[in-house]
Amino acid sequence: MKTEGRNAVLELLRSGKGIDKILMQKGAEGSAGRIFALAREQGVRVQFAERAALDRESETGRHQGVIAYVSEYEYADFAQLLAPSEGARLVIVCDGIEDVHNLGSILRVAECAGASGVVIPKNKSAQVTGAVIRISEGAANHIRVARVPGVNYAIEELKKNGFWVYGLEADGEDIYAASLSGDVALVVGGEDRGLAPLTRKKCDKILSLPLFGKVNSLNASVALGIAAYEVVRRRRT
């Protein structure tokens, strides 16, 4: 698998995960120098090439002069996300997020908000690819992502382990009136259909963000970002 882009490769190096080699554009400057220094410190092989060679190797067209070659993404065990912790836990559950840009953004939000991890289904969902890692700005290398047979199975297990499970939809209870205390799991639905009917039923509550404009919905990752940071805000007060 290839990880492309300076920020994504830099975060991959910082994560300590295994890297087979890094292909770097000749004459690259700026953050590329930090990448080279860190790679050399970790004993990672760096190969220099002309930009045309990186263009041929790139899968995204946005390599920024740096491509890292790594083994396939290593998913976490779902049980790791359920393990007890000192503070209140936050888990993000993706229900049919098929767009790689949304998944990448969700991973970035989850990592920045200090979530314990992100859950995605094995089918009918975007998976963690090089493109998702780049879009997440490398956050995918720092947060646990667990794959499960189905979202409803994940919700049931989260409930058994003491989580309050909240689905995010446009027709729910105002999020600012909800408790959001204790261990929280936020379920975000797909770009077009939102939460599946059975998923809605299994959630403890459906929460929504107040909308004051003429557009009646928010992008999935944007809505999650607002909701996740509302959880964070409550825990800080």
In whole numbers, what is the pLDDT of the chain averaged over residues?
A: 91
C-beta separation of 42 from 18 below 8 A: no
The pTM of the whole model exceeds 0.85: no
Crossing angle of helices 220-236 and 100-112, rounded to 10°: 10
Task: Name which residue leads in pLDDT, 28 or 54.
Answer: 54
Question: Which domains, ranges and CATH numbers included, belong to the chain?
Answer: 2-69 (3.30.1330.30), 78-236 (3.40.1280.10)
Q: CB-based contacts of 83: which residues, under 8 Å, 6+ apart?
A: none
Joined tokens for residue 39: 């790679």
Dump pLDDT digits (tens) for 141-171: 899 999 999 999 999 999 999 999 999 998 8
Dump pLDDT digits (tens) for 51-105: 999 999 998 888 999 999 987 888 999 999 999 888 899 999 999 899 999 999 9
What is the spatial distance between Cα 15 and Cα 32, in angstroms, rounded to a whole number?
A: 17
The pLDDT confidence band at residue 118, using thresholds 50, 70 and 90, is: very high
Neighbour tally for 123: CB within 10 Å: 10
**Segment 193-204 mean pLDDT:** 93
| Rg of the chain in Å (alpha carbons) | 19
The CA dihedral of 75, 81, 83, 89, to the nearest 10 degrees, is 150
User: Does 30 have pLDDT greater than 80?
Assistant: no
pLDDT for residue 147: 95
The pLDDT confidence band at residue 183, using thresholds 50, 70 and 90, is: very high
What is the spatial distance between Cα 56 and Cα 121, in angstroms, rounded to a whole number?
A: 32
Joined tokens for residue 212: 């004051």
| Total residue length of the chain | 237
